[in-house]
Amino acid sequence: MAPPSGQTTFQTTGNSGAEKYANINWDELGFGLIPIDYMYVMKCCEEKNFSDGNLIPYGNIEMSPSAGILNYGQGLLEGLKAYRKEDGCDVLLFRPDQNAQRMKNGAERLCMPSPSVEQFVEAVKQTVLANKHWVPPPGKGSLYIRPLLIGSGPILGMSPAPEYTFLIYASPVGNYHKGPLNLVVEDKLHRATPGGTGGVKAVTNYSPVFKAMTQAKANGFSDVLFLDALTGKNIEELSACNIFIVKGNVISTPATHGTILPGVTRKSIMEIAFTFGYQVEEREIPVEDLLEADELFCTGTAMVVNPVACVTYHNKRVEYKTGAETVSHKLYVMLTGIQTGRIEDKMGWTVKVD
């Protein structure tokens, strides 16, 4: 498929011949939106099933000002990545079925119909294939894929929308964070509450953290670590990623009881750590355990696995191990090796896009 006007491609040569890439500076790729060629759209009316999705040129969408997503925030988002293998040709997805199932779970919580797991995965494949030249060269980044499920139909009264849109767009990205994180514990504002939507990927979960995150960055911190709303004593997660602590041979992460998002990367890291022989725990983690840990790291689709260099809590600053000898680095190497095909995928997690 030809790129839009003003965008060209160039040739690079891999093991199996020439491969086209979009003409951008891949060495300076950050984590920002770069519009690509095509997006995927599929619609569904109330009490019916999704069907007949198709690819259209990337661009703005038309929507009623009374759409459910605009008035009542009835919407979900997902995030996953496509990676180019070292041969420069084959492209892999990482556990797309997990994102599909998480969207289904969220849709049930928000009273929305959702695509089947098979429809979700096929739509992601089609989107990546249509934009394959935007998947970065090996070692330069990945194609970040953003599926959305929104109440697009018009509604005035307080009720679910009459029509829904499933949409997928994507953007090539580099690293989300550059280097170890410097966190601050937030003890006044909360990300989620028991019985709320913190355990699903609702669009309304994200803008409420902007205030705490903006204040933290203005004070020189990388991100915010939120505490539980019930007691204010236990850590939960950052603005958009899960957290782990390491003490000796034990790796612990807060249990997901409805206020913490069950991350796909989080789940994968736990499974890899178990195969490495670590004791892996899901439990309540008091702030005191955080401050006494040997090592901290965060996980998420955007950041993958990122070490934490220091945490500030009530003006007390604690530093942690970072570098090539840490547990987080060991887990990062294994995970990214599987994602990019450098290491044999014995877990059956990767899906070839063809």
- From first CA to last CA, the distance across the chain in angstroms is 15
Catalytic residue among 104, 201, 217, 352: 201
Residue-level length of the chain: 354
3 in Cβ contact with 57 (< 8 Å): no
Residue 188: CB partners within 8 Å, gap ≥ 6? none
| Residue where the block lists tokens 């089947």 | 116
Closest among 278, 310, 276, 277 to 293, alpha carbons compared? 310
Largest CA distance in the chain: 59
248 in Cβ contact with 208 (< 8 Å): no
Structure tokens at 316: 């007390």
331 in Cβ contact with 269 (< 8 Å): yes
At position 204, the amino acid (one-letter code) is T
Residue 138: CB partners within 8 Å, gap ≥ 6? 84, 85, 86, 88, 340
Find the angle CA(54)-CA(56)-CA(59) to the nearest 5 degrees: 140
- Tell me whether residue 315 is exposed, middle or buried, using C-beta atoms within 10 angstroms of its C-beta: 0 to 12, 13 to 18, 19 or more: exposed
Active site residue 201: yes
Question: Which residues are identified as catalytic?
Answer: 201
